[in-house]
């Protein structure tokens, strides 16, 4: 496998991180001005726990079960082979008994990764298509996407908490009901909105890069393209109750469940059509 650096992904990461860094300097300045930086340690502890237990939390929220080679020998064999091709340690493997056809990767590092697939996905796809999906998830692990997105969203989470629950921390001699509190909430709202857009943009390109990585790992861009079409079309056949139960995991899934207009504008994923188009462009470039 010829795994070359994805300079497009790296460039967008650097640009997004730079913009977030500049935005967050303003935000921290506002917290200091209002004597309200006391909120940072509390959120830091929360995000530290989320970061180090991300794999367990994601699997638990989906009701996923870690499976052994005896239970799913073909799934284990496929992921073992693809991990070797991607030069990665073999991740933990989990399965969700669900009709929703989807998959996701989680874990803070390449050595603490987990890949989860649903039974609905395994029933829907053939072996080549399933390989393409699994390779996509391994590409997320290879690119350290969970770590990058967690770091990028740190102060955005702080801003969201301030906006949602109100700004009741602070100190000094300022009146809690005064202009300093209102200014802090206003700045937090702006920071949250702008960072929300930037992080979503980074997340969408993350998916393009994982698609590209899957094509490199398997050498079959058409297999992943076919899988994406099947998964996207198969969502319409899944009962709405099942979809609603799992919609909170959209940021992790290979294809998000919601597809309304607002969902697409602020989606963590690019459109399936664009992803398939780029995969076929990659296929043609291979000659």
Catalytic residues: 137
Q: Where are the beta strands (DSSP E) in the chain?
A: 65-66, 92-96, 103-106, 114-118
Give which of 245, 238, 275, 270 is closest to 256, Cα–Cα: 270
Give the three-state DSSP class for 66.
strand
Counting Cβ atoms within 10 Å, is residue 47 exposed (0-12), middle (13-18) or buried (19+)? middle
As given in the structure block, the two tokens for residue 253 are 């899934």
- CA dist 200 and 242 (Å) reads 25
- CA dist 285 and 242 (Å) reads 39
Counting Cβ atoms within 10 Å, is residue 205 exposed (0-12), middle (13-18) or buried (19+)? middle
Q: What angle do CA 44, 115, 107 make, to 5 degrees?
A: 20
Give which of 281, 180, 185 is closest to 225, Cα–Cα: 281
Give which of 272, 239, 240, 281 is closest to 253, Cα–Cα: 272
**Could you give the C-alpha distances from 228 to 5, 102, 121, 222, in angstroms and in order?**
24, 10, 11, 10
């Amino acid at each position: 496998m010829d795994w070359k650096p994805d300079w497009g992904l790296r460039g967008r990461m650097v640009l997004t991180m730079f913009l977030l860094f500049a935005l967050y300097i303003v935000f921290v300045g506002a917290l200091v001005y209002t004597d309200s930086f006391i909120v940072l340690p509390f959120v830091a502890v929360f995000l530290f726990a989320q970061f180090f237990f991300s794999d367990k939390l994601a699997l638990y929220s989906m009701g996923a079960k870690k499976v052994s080679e005896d239970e799913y020998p073909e799934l284990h064999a496929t992921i073992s082979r693809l991990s070797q091709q991607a030069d990665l340690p073999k991740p933990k493997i989990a399965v969700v008994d669900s009709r929703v056809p989807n998959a996701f990767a989680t874990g803070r590092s390449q050595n603490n990764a987990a890949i989860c697939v649903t039974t609905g996905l395994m029933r829907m796809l053939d072996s080549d298509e399933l390989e393409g999906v699994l390779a996509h998830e391994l590409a997320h692990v290879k690119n350290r996407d969970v770590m990058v997105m967690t770091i990028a969203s740190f102060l955005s989470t702080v801003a969201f908490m301030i906006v949602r629950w109100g700004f009741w921390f602070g100190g000094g001699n300022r009146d809690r009901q005064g202009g300093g509190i209102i200014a802090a909430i206003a700045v937090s709202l702006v920071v949250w909105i702008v960072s929300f857009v930037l992080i979503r943009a980074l997340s969408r390109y993350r998916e393009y890069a994982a698609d590209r990585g899957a094509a490199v790992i398997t050498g079959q861009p058409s297999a992943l393209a076919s899988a994406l079409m099947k998964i996207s079309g198969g969502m319409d056949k899944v009962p709405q109750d099942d979809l609603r139960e799992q919609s909170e995991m959209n940021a992790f899934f290979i294809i998000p469940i919601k597809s309304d207009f607002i969902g697409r504008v602020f989606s963590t994923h690019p459109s399936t059509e664009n992803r398939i188009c780029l995969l076929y462009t990659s296929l043609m470039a291979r000659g």
